[in-house]
Copies of this chain bind each other. A is one copy, B any other.
Amino acid sequence: MTEPPWLSERELDAWLAYLTASHLLERRIEEQLKADAGLTHPQYEILTRLSSAPGQRMRMTELARLVVVSKSGLTYQIGQLEKAGLVERAACPSDERGIMAVLTGEGMRCLERTAPGHLAVVRAFLIDHFGPDELTSMTRIMRKAAAAMGAAVPPPAGEAGPHTPGPRT
């Protein structure tokens, strides 16, 4: 850390631009999801994470880590999604304490119906502003940043490392 603890003007500009854009994007996303599917963004994130998990199911704690939400927060949202019929709770075979959150058929259909509109927003307001190289840079940078903050983010593709027990296979 030879850098000063504060930020240069260029860095501050970058940070402020990021901050504003991310807030605005979150708003747009929230608005679109609410209008088109009656979902909140956290709920949508839960559904997508489940949809790409083996068996469309995942342990509560692991899911909370992926979505970056508190345990109690996830308990609440899974309750909501259960009421909506998009998710079910199932016992965990290997661990008596564990609960699996399982995406229902209806949940999957809801996701298929909702994803295009959602991704269109993400594309229009964020992704389309990146050139190809910039997109690559950003992916790499954000992965590094996430890793530095202790994310459960599997590396790009092939790689050794401590590697998570991940749902490979």
Binding site for B on A (CB under 8 A): 3, 5-7, 10-11, 13-15, 17-25, 27-28, 45, 66-68, 115-116, 119-120, 122-130, 134-139, 141-146, 148-151, 153, 156
- On chain B, the residues within 8 Å of A151 by CB distance are 20-21, 24
Q: Point out the residues of chain B lying under 8 angstroms from A28, CB to CB.
A: 149
What are the residues of chain B within 8 A of A138 when measuring CB–CB? 14, 17-18, 138
* Number of this chain's copies in the complex: 2
* Contact indicator B5/A139 (Cβ below 8 Å): no
**Which 4 residue pairs are nearest across A and B when measured between Cβ atoms?**
A23-B68, A17-B142, A24-B149, A21-B142
A143, chain B: closest CB distance, angstroms? 5
* CB-based contact A15/B149 at 8 Å: no
Contact B10 A135 (CB under 8 A): yes
Query: How many whole Å from A157's CB to the nearest CB in chain B?
Result: 10
**Complex: chain B residue closest to A13, CB-CB:** B139
